[in-house]
Structure 1
Amino acid sequence: MNIDNLLKWGTFTILVIFFLPLLWLGQDAFVTIHDNLDSDYLYLRLLDISHTAFDFNSTIFNVMNGLPRSAMRSGINLEVLSFVVFEPFTAYTINYLLIHLIGFAGMYLLLKKHFLPNPNQQVIVWGTALAFSVVSTYMVHGISSLGQPLYFYAILNFRKNKFRLSDWLIVVLFPIYSFLVWAGFFSVICAGIILIYDWINLKKLNQALLAAILSTGLVYSLVEFQLIYSFFSKAYTSHRTEFNYDLLMPLKSGICFRETFISFIKTYYHAGEFFTIFIFIIALISLAADKKFHQKRKIISLLLTILGICLFHGFYRFFVQGLASVTELPKAFQFDRFYFLLPMIWYLLFAISLDTVLRWKNGFLLTILAIFIQLSITLNSNREFLVNLDKMFGNPLSLPKEKTISYRAFYAENQFGAIRDFIAIPQADYRVICVGFHPAIAQYNGFYTLDSYQNNYLLGYKHQFRKIIENELAVDKKMKEYFDAWGCRAYAFSHEIRADILYHKTSKAAINNSRLNIEAFKQMNGKYVLSSVPINNAGEIGLVQEKVFDDNDSFWKIYLYSTTTKN
């Protein structure tokens, strides 16, 4: 078997191993909760169960007594469509496979066509594409991160005026499988920088490249027209207008340098987190050893780009506070998300630096070793893969239960179905709040919740909901600042339990002195409180315990309280 076949079969084998735990475990697999199952993933589910995925001028009543449809993601998106066509976990699995495979294909094409085209460099191309494809990224962001190489593969084809129909398809379809606010804006900006750089140097505007960039921007505008229109028309006042950056982002240079350093050594978790020190070391070695000027220039350019993105992210709070008094735009849109480009740039740096290593004596073996080390580092940063690999082999993990909870146990469909049947009232006719666990779980199971984790909702609703928890906030300064200065998590907070802990069925926690304002809750059509911990003073605040629900497949024990006794 020749080297090319070894590379292909080796890559195929490792990708199968990477995908196997999720496919094997199904809904018993662990899926990231933070900013995923508790929110963004649930938004995809909500659009389906509320039948508003393609209803662009509606209200989603399942959440917060009516959330404007424009506050949610566009229905002109492949991920949204997949959740309409398939069951939620099936859609998750399909997208998971597609996103990582697109990551591999994109990096392979980008390197092979534009950076390392020689046949003897193929070991770097295959190995780098493989390591990049297993970066831990959020499925709910589509190809916003792992799709960057494919997009810039097409952009560079336009730059060289060697484009084909497939390149037009890439630049047009990229906006339909990614998101403007996460990566689209920043991808277009970077492509525009390439256009302007060439225009200045060559004294000629590349019309094909300009057309490709404009096409991407136009499709994003069509896909996200609701979001764009609602912002500029001020269709409603968002709770984000009350973001208090003095509390959220204190102007301390030490904090800014720390954020810069963290994003440099391990990128950013939303974009795809992995440790970068080994790549940095390889780059420095290559920079010192290689005598070719163009090689040094590439490495230095990539390192400076990475450093610039990290510095902008780290010191972004200065930028925000500087503009906060002039415009609300920085509150509505995070301009520091160039960090979605970091995984691609780091792996480009890795591949180009390895080209130096490959030319050394025994360079092939050293290159294979370096790829193996970086692949191991990246896989070790992918907690979903590690947890599910252990689960597949039945190995107990020394992690808290909430760190390994399965998809099935988290959403607990049987248990919440039993609660729904016990209440025996159409779910649209009453509202609930959740204590000790994420409202996303109740929403996933069809309950209409007053509490929610939303990135964008009505400011007036924030003030109304605050009345329910105002007494709790009054006795907890940090919780008060957290809600008032940010407010995306409009939760039924309690000063007696932590908001960042999931209280499972064997937890000993309890609430003895709840201060929830049940009268304010009832005024918002609230009738039931679902709690994962007992509320021992329920009667004192106007609640009646109806029943306790448990289920073998569930992570939770749910205490059901009502504002009136069940008929």
Structure 2
Amino acid sequence: MPQDSKLPASYYPSVAPVWWAVLALLLLSLVYVAPAGRTYILIDDNLDTELAVPYALVQEGKALDYRPGTVVDRLLNGLPRNALRPGLQPLVGLLAVLPPLPAYLLHELLVRLAGLVGMYLLLRRYGLPAARHAQLCAALALAWAVLPGYTTYGLSVLGQPWVLWALLNLRRGSGRLSDWLVLAGFACWSSLVLAGMFVLAAAGIWLAWDAYRNRRVAWRPLVGLAVLAGSYLVVEYPLVSSLLNRQFVPHRLEFDYARLAPGGVGAGLAAAARYFLLGQYHAGSFLRAAPLLAAGAAAWLLPTSPERQRLERQLGTALLLLAVLALFCGFYPQLVGAVQHAVPPLRTFNLSRFHFLTPLVWFGVLVLSLRQLPAGRATWALVALQLLIGLGMNTEWTLNLRRQLGRLPSSEPTYAAFVAPELFRQVRLDIEQRTGQAPAAYRVACLGLPPAVATLNDFYTLDAYQNNYPLPYKHQFRELIAAELTKSPELRTYFDAWGNRCYLFSAELGKNFRVAALPKRTVQHWHCNVPAFRRMGGRYVLSAVRLARPEQTGLRLFGQYAAPRDYWHLWVYEVEKS
């Protein structure tokens, strides 16, 4: 492709249509508005882990403290700081100036707005550049911005159009300072291990293929990739430093996919079908109906011609790539389980996260197809279908809509009910009044509720949900729960072969990690190695269930706490003095 000496007028397209999409996104976001923190936000793998970590970093003033010996005292009895997310990410900065819920909601809105604008610019410049498509581009950008996904990961998914836009600009020789800044900004506002590595790999493969096909190297986008990679090295310094200096041995070295993976070809094919048709929930799980319908319609309606043959090759290549990737992801646990002893690093790094790229590829299929379809109601119907699917499968949005209608399920508490700040505040005050000890002077662990709830309420926990922590601590913590693991082979495999949830387990509860106040639950026989718990500084067990015989374990009831609006009924047990 020839190099452009000057930018064409369409480099920065008309912004009028996109403002309507921005306004629509803001109106859709009104469902999150609620008094007194009664907004619903995703709990699993989100509120139960991703918000507590940056909150702890900020509260201890260690967000930017990357010294090798620095530990975060509130997590896992002193978790190495460099095992946690970088302090340069926007969510961490927002938590430094706002309470957790407003910080989360503002961050989510900014992520979706950035995704909308990025997709609009990409489509207007490269996807659907004709002037008549401006409104269609805005509608597609809105459909992109509302996709379900975990916005605590920043722009890892929704910001990918910005990266492609910048690299294509550089490839055309029309790069400006804004293109370089976009690449650096993406590194600051995304996750290296979840998306960045795979964005770099995919872009590198694309540039290599481009160089082979055109018999020349496109140097500017190659330098752009170097800028992106270099920016990640700066932003993700905690991770890079811990790897290079081997500051601790990660618990991930004991991941055992052979024990975790469901066996058989049938299980692999079922997983592959889910990846192909729905995707993966962290990266945006939505039915791929609109792209598939659009591709079928375009291939069917376009008359036989070289243009149709080119479209069929493009769509066929994209769909084949998506199918191969779905098969790889579906069978990945089994593949790694078979070779993990020969290639130990595969235990610690998840190569199946290439699925973080698939939402953008599916939108590429949709856009390629829409380019060939005649403008009209059918085209708009496909875009509307994609928008409705994105909204309908966005659990956080739909549950907030149901909350507005007074129909929020009791199993899905609001932020205020889940975090229950007044309930936990009363626990802290009672402990301080009876013992004179502030939370930093003792450690707690949680049974039947995520430790992140205690962290967000300023307790110092021995347990946590972490994807990276020292292996010796996992072994030390296992002593506390060994008796319960012995009673449950399922939990034993769950902890020993994985262990990201470093929790107090109960064989009677199984994997029920959030036990609601109603109906009340009683655990008849629960065993904890209290002497080991005490040696680790543990003094209190915050339990969402009543223990029928706490004295058998060496605990005594300190108090019980409940409030009508809160999700939890807390029983607080104190370690008996030896």
Note the C-alpha offset of 1:7: 5.2
Indicate if the aligned counterparts of 1:36 and 1:42 stay in contact, CA closer than 8 A: no
- Aligned partner of 2:426 among 398, 405, 418: 418
Cross-structure match for 1:556: 568
Deviations 1:77-98 (A, max 9, x none): 2222221232211211111111
Cross-structure match for 1:461: 473
Q: 1:380 to 1:26 in 2, by over 3 A?
A: farther
Indicate if the aligned counterparts of 2:443 and 2:539 stay in contact, CA closer than 8 A: yes
Structure 2 counterpart of 1:45, one-letter code: Y
Indicate if the aligned counterparts of 2:298 and 2:370 stay in contact, CA closer than 8 A: yes
Indicate if the aligned counterparts of 2:445 and 2:504 stay in contact, CA closer than 8 A: yes
Indicate if the aligned counterparts of 2:66 and 2:82 stay in contact, CA closer than 8 A: yes
Indicate if the aligned counterparts of 1:251 and 1:317 stay in contact, CA closer than 8 A: no
Cross-structure match for 2:76: 64
Indicate if the aligned counterparts of 1:135 and 1:274 stay in contact, CA closer than 8 A: yes
1:441-480 map, 5 Å? 441-480=453-492
- Aligned partner of 2:104 among 65, 68, 92: 92
- Aligned partner of 1:39 among 44, 49, 66: 49
**Does 1:437 pair with 2:446?**
no
Q: 1:306 to 1:186 in 2, by over 3 A?
A: same
Cross-structure match for 1:14: 24
Structure 2 counterpart of 1:97, one-letter code: L
**Does 1:333 pair with 2:382?**
no
Indicate if the aligned counterparts of 2:258 and 2:338 stay in contact, CA closer than 8 A: no
User: Which is worse superposed, 376-385 or 73-82?
Assistant: 73-82
The 2-side partners of 1:229 and 1:349 are apart by 39
The 2-side partners of 1:124 and 1:107 are apart by 12
Note the C-alpha offset of 1:374: 1.7
The 1-side partners of 2:555 and 2:123 are apart by 63
Deviations 1:91-120 (A, max 9, x none): 111111111111111111111111211112
Indicate if the aligned counterparts of 1:59 and 1:66 stay in contact, CA closer than 8 A: yes
User: Which is worse superposed, 99-108 or 306-315?
Assistant: 306-315
Note the C-alpha offset of 1:501: 4.8
Cross-structure match for 2:367: 351
Deviations 1:369-418 (A, max 9, x none): 221122111111011111111212x3324x3x222x10111111111111
The 2-side partners of 1:6 and 1:226 are apart by 42
- Aligned partner of 2:251 among 211, 222, 239: 239
Cross-structure match for 1:402: 411
- Aligned partner of 2:40 among 8, 16, 30: 30
Indicate if the aligned counterparts of 2:90 and 2:107 stay in contact, CA closer than 8 A: no
Indicate if the aligned counterparts of 1:550 and 1:556 stay in contact, CA closer than 8 A: yes
- Aligned partner of 2:514 among 496, 502, 505: 502
Q: 1:108 to 1:8 in 2, by over 3 A?
A: closer
TM-score, normalised to structure 2, is 0.92
The 2-side partners of 1:325 and 1:235 are apart by 23
Q: 1:264 to 1:374 in 2, by over 3 A?
A: same
Q: Tell me the C-alpha RMSD between the 2 structures.
A: 1.9
Structure 1 counterpart of 2:423, one-letter code: Q
- Aligned partner of 1:153 among 143, 156, 165: 165
Indicate if the aligned counterparts of 1:124 and 1:354 stay in contact, CA closer than 8 A: no
Structure 2 counterpart of 1:312, one-letter code: F
Give unpaired runs (5+ residues) of structure 1. Answer: none
Note the C-alpha offset of 1:500: 2.8
Deviations 1:174-224 (A, max 9, x none): 100001001111111111112111211122111111110001001111211
The 2-side partners of 1:71 and 1:303 are apart by 37
- Aligned partner of 1:74 among 73, 86, 89: 86
- SS of structure 2 residue aligned to 1:527: strand
User: Which is worse superposed, 134-143 or 224-233?
Assistant: 224-233
Structure 2 counterpart of 1:43, one-letter code: V
The 2-side partners of 1:102 and 1:302 are apart by 26
The 1-side partners of 2:294 and 2:160 are apart by 23
The 2-side partners of 1:258 and 1:323 are apart by 22
Cross-structure match for 1:428: 440
1:45-194 map, 5 Å? 45-57=55-67, 58-194=70-206
Indicate if the aligned counterparts of 1:534 and 1:559 stay in contact, CA closer than 8 A: yes
- SS of structure 1 residue aligned to 2:169: helix
Aligned pair count?
555
Structure 2 counterpart of 1:105, one-letter code: V
Indicate if the aligned counterparts of 2:491 and 2:510 stay in contact, CA closer than 8 A: no
Structure 2 counterpart of 1:330, one-letter code: L
- SS of structure 2 residue aligned to 1:402: coil
The 2-side partners of 1:482 and 1:47 are apart by 28
Q: 1:513 to 1:441 in 2, by over 3 A?
A: same
Q: 1:472 to 1:159 in 2, by over 3 A?
A: same
Note the C-alpha offset of 1:452: 1.1
Indicate if the aligned counterparts of 2:521 and 2:545 stay in contact, CA closer than 8 A: yes
- SS of structure 2 residue aligned to 1:315: helix
Indicate if the aligned counterparts of 1:497 and 1:509 stay in contact, CA closer than 8 A: no
Indicate if the aligned counterparts of 2:18 and 2:120 stay in contact, CA closer than 8 A: no
